[in-house]
Amino acid sequence: TLKAIRASMLDVACVVDDPVDIEKNVRYIEDGLLLVTNGRIEWVGEWEEGKDKIPEGVRVRSYPGKIVMPGFIDTHIHYPQSEMVGAYGEQLLEWLDNYVFPTEVRYKDKDYAKEMSEFFVKQLLRNGTTTALVFGTVHPESVDSLFEVAENINMRMIAGKVMMDRNAPDYLLDTPEISYNQSKELIEKWHKKGRLLYAITPRFAPTSSPEQLDMAGKLKKEFPDTYMHTHLCENKSEIEWVKELFPDRASYLDVYHHHGLTGPKSIFAHSIHLEDCEWDCLQETDSAISFCPTSNLYLGSGLFKLQEAWKRKVKVGMGTDIGAGTTFSIMQTLNEAYKVMQLQEYRLSAFEAFYLATLGGAKSLSLDHLIGNFEVGKEADFVVIDPCATPLQQLRFDNSKSLADELFVLITLGDDRSIYRTYVDGRLVYARN
């Protein structure tokens, strides 16, 4: 089952905690060879050096003019919100009531959930995303169907059933006990089955009672290597509401921290309007943030302080946050990340953007020992990028002056058309027509 891929190869060699170290660790091989066996990276290097390692009879898949990169990692996305992406004109709390909740109720129907799970995974793959941390709905069937689809292609996917027992329509509520029991059952059924992992998923503080957050904390204690995935400090009205609902807690993040929901496998989407004490807590507990620029601009939520996260050495990955986010494409997400940082006088470099989408994302999910670059032994999830997918991109590519320039243009102009092939677990799972 050995596979040999010949193309340009691009990755980042190691995890860094300062952005200036990224460029030093970028590895680019103009004429490279990637060898894959049983879903793992077996060898990567110069074609000339490696070509004799290819056993006779193995066909080399050559992609001239293309760039092979590690698969993209989406650290925050809602699979049951594809239907209402781009719904007009609200900020977070009204948008949830008017568009999200009426959509999510449809996922109590397992057939519908299965159909949408298939749609969702296809969209990830056509956008070059090979790992995602995903919100389901309150219905356990929604998570079953997503995991079933991911399992079929042995995709590394993290997902969980939403826990919410208040401040949403009755038809979407569970209770502390029901959410505990259903989550536990799903953990026992799916966590670490193949490449699948479970995330305990309280929607956000306003939709969980303290009793339910206790249950979430209890689950995390009983299953310490599961993930915890929620929203934090996205919107100013949301933050005010949390302060009213939890007057005894020092901050929004303290609500989660108090219930044992911070830590190295806790991922907090948005985290835009953080107080100093919240930054301290994220840093001290080694929790991670998902940066969701398209969503934060679309809902008018605010500008994420990436510079502060670097300063504090708080882990950050990129999130599309479909359906508040407006694209499945991590490239388009990086395009908007660049603009968000421009407004804060911070120039996001092409290499930094690329790092956040691959190895940095893997680190934020505590998966950097398994995915995120081409280290030998890692899981063989990668994309074959077409840097000249449109006439404009071709023109601009022909006028590029450096690798950094090429990569930056790709991130600025790229989208799903830039994804030529996607490989998961060493197997071809998407090919552009």
Residues in touch with ligand GUN (CB under 6 A): 78, 92, 96, 100, 203-204, 231, 234, 295, 321, 324
Q: How far is the CB of 207 from ligand GUN (least distance, A)?
A: 7
Q: How far is the CB of 152 from Fe ion (least distance, A)?
A: 26
Q: How many CB atoms lie within 10 A of CB 399?
A: 9
For position 321 contacting Fe ion by CB under 5 A, the verdict is yes
Q: How far is the CB of 337 from ligand GUN (least distance, A)?
A: 16
Q: Which position's Cβ is nearest Fe ion?
A: 321
Tell me the Cα Rg of the chain: 21
Please choose, out of 58-66, 262-270, 304-312, 367-375, the segment that lies near Fe ion by the rule CB under 5 A: 262-270
Please choose, out of 28-36, 149-157, 169-177, 264-272, the segment that lies near Fe ion by the rule CB under 5 A: 264-272
Euclidean distance between CA atoms 291 and 305, whole angstroms: 9
Please choose, out of 25-33, 56-64, 318-326, 378-386, the segment that lies near Fe ion by the rule CB under 5 A: 318-326
Q: How far is the CB of 203 from ligand GUN (least distance, A)?
A: 5
Q: Toward ligand GUN, which CB reaches closer, 116 or 324?
A: 324
Biggest CA-to-CA distance, the chain: 69
Task: Choose from Fe ion, ligand GUN, none: what does 96 bind? Cβ within 5-8 Å by kind.
Answer: ligand GUN
Query: 67: closest CA among 36, 34, 41, 20?
Result: 34
Q: Toward Fe ion, which CB reaches closer, 104 or 425?
A: 104
3-state secondary structure 162-229: EECCCCCCHHHCCCHHHHHHHHHHHHHHHCCCCCEEEEEEECCHHHCCHHHHHHHHHHHHHCCCCEEE
Q: Toward ligand GUN, which CB reaches closer, 268 or 420?
A: 268
Q: Toward ligand GUN, which CB reaches closer, 92 or 288?
A: 92
**CA distance to 42, 176, 196, per residue, from 39 (Å):** 9, 40, 15
Q: Toward Fe ion, which CB reaches closer, 100 or 407?
A: 100
For position 74 contacting Fe ion by CB under 5 A, the verdict is no
- What is the identity of the amino acid at 251? S
Query: 259: closest CA among 207, 222, 210?
Result: 210
175 contacts 138 by C-beta, under 8 angstroms: no
Task: Choose from Fe ion, ligand GUN, none: what does 36 bind? Cβ within 5-8 Å by kind.
Answer: none
**CA distance to 7, 30, 48, 106, 277, per residue, from 53 (Å):** 16, 19, 10, 52, 54
Q: Which position's Cβ is nearest ligand GUN?
A: 324
How many amino acids of this chain bind Fe ion (CB under 5 A)? 2
Q: How far is the CB of 137 from ligand GUN (least distance, A)?
A: 10
Q: How far is the CB of 295 from Fe ion (least distance, A)?
A: 7
Q: Toward ligand GUN, which CB reaches closer, 78 or 139?
A: 78
Q: How far is the CB of 100 from ligand GUN (least distance, A)?
A: 5
Task: Choose from ligand GUN, Fe ion, none: what does 203 bind? Cβ within 5-8 Å by kind.
Answer: ligand GUN
**Coil, strand or helix at 22:** helix
**Please, which of residues 268-287 interact with Fe ion by CB under 5 A?**
269
Euclidean distance between CA atoms 256 and 216, whole angstroms: 10
For position 104 contacting Fe ion by CB under 5 A, the verdict is no
Q: How far is the CB of 96 from ligand GUN (least distance, A)?
A: 6
Euclidean distance between CA atoms 348 and 338, whole angstroms: 5
Q: Toward Fe ion, which CB reaches closer, 82 or 181?
A: 82
**Coil, strand or helix at 41:** strand
- The DSSP bridge partners found for residue 132 are 74, 157
Query: 96: closest CA among 199, 207, 201, 179?
Result: 207
Q: How far is the CB of 296 from ligand GUN (least distance, A)?
A: 9
Query: Tokens 């882990």 identify what position?
Result: 315
Residues lying near Fe ion in the complex (CB under 5 A): 269, 321
